[in-house]
């Protein structure tokens, strides 16, 4: 798409079962900053069936406008229905920028919509800004195995599209009672053209959700095996946290992929990230370096992880972790 645009910065609001994924709010925060630099406005695009109750939350997190498409064919996520609806809205209202979450759903949707709109898409960006001279969107992401950061532009086509992983950007302030304009968009959809029917649904509670954890106890190759990870699970439970892992620990089969943190795993932003037996390779750091407080335990005083740690403990985790567990249990009166 190359025509004149509206100077609107759009965020695709991801909802499933009428619950908005928090990454959508994180993206509204970024969209606000970009819109200010473009002297434009921020809008959320909400697709679903009978989801208008969700608009107040979208305004509370900073949207000036919300575009809604409500249709029975959008009652649950199906690629063709959602891609067509988002494409139709973008074609009609011509946003300058369209941001989507790099969640499994967002990734699936983003590629299809970019193809329909005949524009570019930069996946998994870690920084977004506006070029002061050209007003183009500067989309930065790791490239060549995470060894360099590449800044990508989309100068000839609109909208400029990017997907962003959860927890890359901070959650903006929520302002209760904030309102804005609601635009209801009609899109024709039929079951025949969607062509897919859902026959089962596995609720999210059954999957590991480390992205939203406030405390993460993460283990690496230095943990040495499944028995070591059992200790990390014990500690994380005491701290009401989750267990994370480096890719080498996952590849060794000590813990499942859902726990992997890093460039090819999840991005996390907990209040406390305890890195145990993790060297701190750039691809691991890419997924956790925005944590509020990083504490590391490593036997090697020269380990790279210490360079980004707020607190570093040089020592053997086999001595430190059991001692920590005992101390916390004692403090909590558990034994
Ligand atoms: C394209 C690409 C994508 C990648 N994506 C990811 C990714 O998403 N996530 C990721 O993590 N990696 C990723 N990697 C791999 C990454 O480069 C590193 O190989 C990996 O992060 C290292 O894992 P580690 O720190 O557990 O292991 P190591 O580098 O082997 O470090 C183990 C650490 O444990 C310490 N240690 C050993 N024994 C003890 C002990 N008893 N007590 C305390 N400390 C101890 C050692 O001193 C060492 O520092 C990727 C690589 C590539 C090329």
- pLDDT at position 147 is 79
Range with lowest mean pLDDT among 27-31, 69-73, 170-174, 330-334: 330-334
Specify whether 227 is located in the same domain as 264.
Answer: yes
Specify whether 299 is located in the same domain as 192.
Answer: no
Specify whether 46 is located in the same domain as 115.
Answer: yes
Tell how far CA 211 is from the center of its chain. 8
Specify whether 44 is located in the same domain as 163.
Answer: yes
Range with lowest mean pLDDT among 1-5, 125-129, 257-261, 322-326: 1-5
Which single residue is written with the structure tokens 């645009």? 5
* b (16+ CB within 10 A) / e for 165-175: bbbbbeebeee
- pLDDT at position 206 is 62
Task: Tell me which of 139, 173, 202 is where a domain ends.
Answer: 202
Specify whether 222 is located in the same domain as 295.
Answer: yes
Work out the percent of the chain whose per-residue pLDDT is above 90: 88
Specify whether 306 is located in the same domain as 179.
Answer: no
> What distance in angstroms lies between residue 321's CA and the mean position of ligand 1's atoms?
19
> What distance in angstroms lies between residue 280's CA and the mean position of ligand 1's atoms?
6
Beta bridge partners of 272: 215, 293
Task: Tell me which of 202, 223, 256 is where a domain ends.
Answer: 202
Task: Tell me which of 202, 234, 261 is where a domain ends.
Answer: 202
Residue 221 pLDDT level (bands cut at 50, 70, 90): very high
Which residues, in sequence order, are CB contacts of 115 under 8 Å at separation 6+?
none
- Residue 145 Cβ inside 6 Å of ligand 1? The answer reads yes
Which residues, in sequence order, are CB contacts of 226 under 8 Å at separation 6+?
254, 255
Residue 72 lies in a domain: yes
Which residues, in sequence order, are CB contacts of 36 under 8 Å at separation 6+?
none
Specify whether 112 is located in the same domain as 181.
Answer: yes
Specify whether 151 is located in the same domain as 274.
Answer: no
Residue 1 lies in a domain: no
pTM of the model: 0.78
Residue 2 lies in a domain: no
List the end-to-end C-alpha distance of the chain, in Å, as a whole number: 65
- pLDDT at position 54 is 98
Q: How many CB atoms lie within 10 A of CB 215?
A: 18
Residue 3 lies in a domain: no
Residue 94 lies in a domain: yes
Asked if the model's pLDDT at residue 275 lies above 80, the reply is: yes
Domain that holds residue 225: 208-331
- Residue 80 Cβ inside 6 Å of ligand 1? The answer reads no
Residues 38 and 96 sit within 8 Å (Cβ to Cβ): yes
Specify whether 186 is located in the same domain as 256.
Answer: no
Give the pLDDT confidence of 122-170 residue by residue, as tens digits.
999 999 999 999 999 999 998 887 778 999 999 999 999 999 989 899 9
Residue 5 pLDDT level (bands cut at 50, 70, 90): confident
- pLDDT at position 261 is 97
Asked if the model's pLDDT at residue 254 lies above 70, the reply is: yes
- Residue 269 Cβ inside 6 Å of ligand 1? The answer reads no
The total number of structural domains that make up the chain:
2
- pLDDT at position 146 is 73
- pLDDT at position 45 is 98
Q: What's the CATH number where 317 sits? A: 3.40.50.1220
- pLDDT at position 3 is 57
Q: Ligand 1: which residue has its CA nearest to atom 29?
A: 279
Specify whether 217 is located in the same domain as 171.
Answer: no
Provide the strand spans (E) within the chain: 8-13, 15-16, 19-20, 41-48, 65-70, 97-101, 121-125, 127-130, 137-143, 148-152, 160-164, 181-184, 215-219, 242-245, 272-276, 293-298, 311-314
Range with lowest mean pLDDT among 37-41, 267-271, 273-277, 331-335: 331-335
Q: Which atom of ligand 1 is nearest to the CA of 304?
A: 49
Residue 69 lies in a domain: yes
Q: Tell me which DSSP letter residue 223 carries.
A: G
What does the alpha-carbon distance between residue 269 and residue 331 come to, in Å, rounded to a whole number? 26
- Reading the block at residue 101, the tokens are 């979450």
- Reading the block at residue 235, the tokens are 């500690």
Mean of per-residue pLDDT scores for the chain: 95
Specify whether 237 is located in the same domain as 147.
Answer: no
| Helix, strand, or coil (residue 304) | helix
Specify whether 253 is located in the same domain as 178.
Answer: no
Q: What's the CATH number where 124 sits? A: 3.40.50.620
């Amino acid at each position: 798409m190359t025509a004149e645009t509206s100077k609107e910065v759009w965020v695709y609001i991801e909802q499933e079962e009428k619950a908005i994924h928090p990454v959508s709010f994180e993206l509204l925060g970024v969209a606000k900053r970009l819109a200010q630099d473009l002297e434009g406005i921020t809008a959320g695009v909400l697709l679903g069936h009978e989801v208008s109750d969700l608009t107040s939350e979208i305004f509370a997190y900073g949207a000036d406008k919300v575009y809604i498409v409500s249709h029975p064919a959008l009652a649950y996520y199906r690629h063709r229905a959602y891609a067509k609806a988002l494409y139709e809205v973008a074609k009609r209202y011509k946003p300058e920028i369209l941001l989507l979450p790099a969640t499994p759903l967002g990734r699936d949707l983003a590629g299809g919509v970019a193809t329909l709109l005949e524009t570019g898409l930069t996946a998994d960006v870690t920084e977004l800004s506006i070029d002061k001279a050209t007003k183009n969107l500067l989309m930065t992401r790791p490239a060549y195995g995470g060894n360099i950061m590449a800044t990508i532009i989309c100068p000839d086509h609109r909208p400029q599209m990017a997907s962003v992983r959860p927890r890359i950007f901070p959650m903006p302030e929520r302002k209760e009672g904030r309102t804005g304009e609601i635009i209801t968009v009609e899109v024709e959809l039929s079951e025949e053209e969607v062509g897919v029917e859902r026959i089962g649904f596995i609720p999210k509670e059954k999957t590991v959700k480390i992205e939203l954890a406030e405390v993460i106890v993460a283990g690496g190759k230095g943990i040495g095996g499944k028995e070591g990870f059992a200790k990390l699970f014990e500690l994380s439970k005491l701290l009401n946290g989750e267990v994370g892992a480096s890719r080498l620990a996952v590849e060794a089969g000590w813990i499942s992929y859902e726990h992997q943190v890093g460039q090819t795993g999840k991005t996390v932003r907990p209040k406390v990230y305890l890195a145990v037996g993790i060297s701190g390779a750039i691809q691991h750091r890419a997924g956790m370096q925005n944590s509020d407080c990083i504490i590391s335990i490593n036997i090697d005083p020269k380990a790279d992880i210490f360079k980004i740690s707020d607190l570093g403990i040089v020592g053997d985790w086999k001595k430190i972790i059991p001692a920590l567990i005992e101390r916390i249990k004692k403090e909590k009166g558990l034994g």
